Amino acid sequence: MYKRSLKIAAIALALSLSGCGLLPEKVDETKNWSASRLYSEAREELTSGNYEKAIQHFEKLEARYPFGTYAQQAQMEVAYAHYRQGEQPEALAAVERFIKLHPNHPNVDYMYYLRGLINFNDRVGFLDFLSKQDPSERDPKAARDAFDAFKLLAERFPDSVYTKDATSRMKYLVNAMAQYEVHVASYYYRRGAYVAAANRAQIAVSEYREAPAIEEALYIMVKSYDAMGMPDLRDDTERVLRKNFPDSVYFKGGPITSKPWWQIW
């Protein structure tokens, strides 16, 4: 009985160790595909919205055929596929890798543009003003990163086909970042933190001079200085407000209620 038990245990152990061998191996259908076919199939998956499979094909293409235009194009497509899939860190990593490897590529301007788009579409924390989260808890880092990326594109590639759109997005981002500062300033003012309110409004005024939100920022500064008993600063700021916005609604007792960010574009 003891020997029989040992034999059964040995057989069970052998089966467990070789269990994987009992299953049919997964066949890689792309094994013998040419570079052109791999690229064509990957593009088809990308166009169909099958981003994960497209990325797999593009990565196989680069690994099997690391030299030539197909490999470089695959690197660009991988970045775009990650972007469309909402995978921001992976998309940014792919963009940075391409720019580092191919700084003189004829289409590198597109990668600079894509880097801006990736950050521009990151709504976590900053552009999600639809939520009930307090403005002071949000960080506009993604908007600043997007602005810097678009600005770099415009400076390095002024004649790029992507520069016009990048410039328009930069204007939007300036307005959005200014509005963010005003939201925060208004938040502090409503809670009686007048020093913090004046300081945040001042940031909007000094850094985003042409943004529509400046009107409200100046008004918040006027009200904050008045609340702190600082008549000189209050009067100076009010003169600036009247000079730049002579028909301001705030002269008619307009409340401090910041407009939603989507209304500033």
The predicted-structure confidence for 144-189, as pLDDT tens digits, reads as follows 999 999 999 999 999 999 999 999 999 999 988 999 999 999 999 9
| Domain-embedded: residue 131 | no
The interaxial angle of helices 69-84 and 51-64, nearest 10 deg, is 160
| Domain-embedded: residue 2 | no
| Domain-embedded: residue 213 | no
Number of domains observed in the structure of the chain: 1
DSSP, residue by residue, 86-100: T-HHHHHHHHHHHHH
pTM over 0.85: no
pLDDT for 132 beyond 90: no
Query: Residue 97 maps to which CATH number?
Result: 1.25.40.10
| Domain-embedded: residue 75 | yes
Note the pLDDT of residue 20: 52
Domain that holds residue 48: 33-103
| CA–CA gap between residue 178 and residue 136 (Å, rounded) | 14
Note the pLDDT of residue 69: 86
Note the pLDDT of residue 1: 55
Quickly state the pLDDT bin for 258 (edges 50, 70, 90).
very low
| Domain-embedded: residue 148 | no
| CA–CA gap between residue 70 and residue 38 (Å, rounded) | 9
* Whole-Å CA distances, 53 to 36, 57, 72, 84: 17, 6, 18, 13
Stretch 40-47: mean pLDDT, rounded? 95
Stretch 83-101: mean pLDDT, rounded? 95
Note the pLDDT of residue 126: 47
Q: Residue 13 is inside which H or E element, if any? A: helix 2-17
